[in-house]
């Protein structure tokens, strides 16, 4: 099978958060194969270093940077370091997140803050870190990864779904604030994606079958399907797309 090549992505400086595994790893590889200069951030060093090694033959081999996105100071330092090396960041993919399940009665204030930091807060501050450079270029793309979970009201994910709902609001706010500089901001809403983490922790053959039966397309979603949407939205082919949510969920309307 062959897929689109986007000449406008060649040579662009791209930063992908949570880019060392799962959907993020698929995005790292997909942008690298388009000839982009990819920097990917993660705290999972083993997975990230293995991914970096596997892509060392790319035109611009992706570069791993360890960054704890819960720290605003770490975000600012890491993004400044990348800009010093590669110039203004032209594409930001806010992919990092953590969908750990939680029971209502067990949630503490500390856990709430942690979950919001991992799933929402960093998306704002990463966008803030690239905004000035994009304004100087008078162009740029920010892609925020949301989730279909809150659209379906899935169980044991109340804080995660709050964060993911907030991402869609954040996307609209950033699109309005940055649009005058030619910066486009969109969100991608994945459905049930078959990542190693999902298959290890949350899915069984029975639950998989239930999800597929609830989708309009009776097909499993792989990380590469989400990555392809990211490529399109980051490219000049999507030059009039901003402030919107793009679902990659095979038409999943309920459990």
Where in the sequence numbering do the catalytic residues fall? 160
User: How is residue 150 annotated by DSSP?
Assistant: H
Give one word for 250, left, alpha or beta, with left for phi > 0 and alpha for psi -120 to 50. left
CA distance 74 to 66: 9
Listed residue (129, 140, 100, 176) closest to 17, CA to CA: 129
Geometric angle at alpha carbon 29, from 246 and 10, rounded to 5°: 85
CA distance 14 to 230: 11
For residue 178, give the H/E element and its range.
helix 158-178
Residue 94's SS3 state is strand
For residue 181, give the H/E element and its range.
none
């Amino acid at each position: 099978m062959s897929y689109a090549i986007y000449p406008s992505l060649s040579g662009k400086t791209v930063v992908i958060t949570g880019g060392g595994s799962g959907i993020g790893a698929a995005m790292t590889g997909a942008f690298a194969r388009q000839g982009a200069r990819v920097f990917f951030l993660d705290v999972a060093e083993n997975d990230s270093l293995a991914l970096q090694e596997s892509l060392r033959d790319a035109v611009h081999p992706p570069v791993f940077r360890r960054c704890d996105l819960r720290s605003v100071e770490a975000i600012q330092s890491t993004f400044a370091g990348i800009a010093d090396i590669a110039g203004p960041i032209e594409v930001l993919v806010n992919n990092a997140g953590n969908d750990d399940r939680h029971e209502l009665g067990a949630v503490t204030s500390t856990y709430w803050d942690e979950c919001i930091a991992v799933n929402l807060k960093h998306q704002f501050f990463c966008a803030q870190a690239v905004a000035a450079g994009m304004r100087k270029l008078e162009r740029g793309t920010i892609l925020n990864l949301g989730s279909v979970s809150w659209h379906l009201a899935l169980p044991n994910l109340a804080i995660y779904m709050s964060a993911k709902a907030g991402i869609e609001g954040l996307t609209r706010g950033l699109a309005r604030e940055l649009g005058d500089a030619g910066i486009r901001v969109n969100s991608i809403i994945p459905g049930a994606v078959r990542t190693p983490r999902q298959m290890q922790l949350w899915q069984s053959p029975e639950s998989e079958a239930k999800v597929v039966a609830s989708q309009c397309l009776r097909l499993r979603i792989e990380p590469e399907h989400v990555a392809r949407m990211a490529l399109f939205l980051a490219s000049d082919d999507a030059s009039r797309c901003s402030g919107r949510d793009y679902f990659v969920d095979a038409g999943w309307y309920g459990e």
